[in-house]
Amino acid sequence: MKAAYAKYRLDFIEPGGTSRGVLTHKDTYFLKIWDPEAPEHFGIGECALFKGLSAEDDETYEGKLQELCRNVSMDRGTDLTGYSSITFGFETAILDFSNGCNRTIFPSRFAEGKEKIPINGLVWMGSKDEMRSRIEEKLSAGFKTIKVKIGAIDFDSEIELIKYIRSRYSSTDVEIRVDANGAFTPQNVMARLDELARYDLHSIEQPIRQGQWEEMAKVCHDSPVPVALDEELIGVWNPMVMMELLKTIRPQYLVLKPSLVGGFSNATEWLKMAAQFNIGAWVTSALESNIGLNAIAQWVSTLQPKIPQGLGTGKLYSNNIASPLEQEGDAISYNPGKSWVMPQFSWNEF
């Protein structure tokens, strides 16, 4: 077996407002695995590093990719502990190769084009007017679950946006999720949750910043709005620590981003542990290209989700990878009649 990686810059069609600032582009890495005797057939995965959020965002990252590629060529294992996005990309590439090198990562009815996955409509951070316009777009597109990122503008304006949705649609017609990205403090969080609770929300993600287990446990216990952990899970790999986190905090939900929480293997462990505490969960993409999004969507389909997932639609980037993924209304699907079109990547071979 041989392996190679390539760095690729994804360009946003419109600047994307996140808790890590406004993004105009995002660098990612692709990992390719093939048999030297048939190089035209290869498995590919995305090592979706998220600058400023991924736990492995440091100067060792490309060195670990080089080590992995060399070890694959020498049929040796590589310790990827702590390298979440590389684990995610490597798992995807191996599964793609094993399933025939046609971008089928998890065989399923979804991958055959016979099932769709319900998704939420994500409202990016921006000015109040920009966010209101995006809310209108999502509602007009038919989304029944709207996720609003808060914490970027003043809280009163954000409440007005949520109030605007609820003034038009009841909770039985449109579900509202909010994501605070840790924007609240232990001092103001309960007052803000009490205010948010007036609008019958489904949940709030990460109301205070991660790493404050005792404070977060109190929030989860006292909050009038169900709490979902997101950033709290990033960088936590040790099974004993994972279990202790859940036992201590006892959230109502987990939000799992496979490229940030240790790939599909570690995300599966989170799901197993969450089930022991009757903690719900849903899966979210994290600005991956269509290669990473496809892998996540196919994995999600095997979980037979009952609630909308936080999957992207592949429409963020002007130079995304052309794929069979399609989005219509509030669902994402896979059209086997469409082809993947890969750019000419600059591969680093070892």
CA nearest 211: which of 182, 250, 240, 179? 182
pLDDT the model gives residue 25: 92
Residue 151: the pLDDT is 86
Structural domains in the chain, CATH included, are 2-102+344-349 (3.30.390.10), 117-334 (3.20.20.120)
| pLDDT of amino acid 125 | 83
DSSP string, 25-78: EEEEEEEEEE-TTSTTSEEEEEE---TTTSTT-STTHHHHHHHHHHHHHTT---
- Show Cβ contacts of residue 247 under 8 Å, excluding neighbours closer than 6 positions: 277
User: Mind listing the pLDDT tens digit for each residue in 235-271?
Assistant: 999 999 999 999 999 999 999 999 999 999 999 999 9
Q: What pLDDT is recorded for position 16?
A: 72
179-193 residues labelled b (16+ CB within 10 A) or e (exposed): bbbbbbeeeebbebb
pLDDT score recorded for residue 178: 97
Residue 11 corresponds to which tokens in the numbers above? 């360009």
Given 26, 64, 149, 338, the catalytic residue: 149
Q: What is the pLDDT of residue 18?
A: 64
325-336: average pLDDT: 96
Contact criterion met (CB below 8 Å) for 159 and 198:
no
C-alpha distance from residue 98 to each of 25, 44, 65, 92 (Å): 32, 11, 21, 10
In contact, 180 and 205? CB cutoff 8 Å:
yes
Q: pLDDT class for 20, splitting at 50, 70, 90? A: low
Q: What is the pTM of this model?
A: 0.95
Query: Of these residues, 64, 163, 257, 272, which one is catalytic?
Result: 257
pLDDT tens digits, residue range 110-140?
Answer: 999 999 999 999 998 888 899 999 999 999 9
Is there a catalytic annotation at residue 116? no
272 is catalytic: no
Contact in structure between 126 and 137 (CB atoms under 8 Å): no
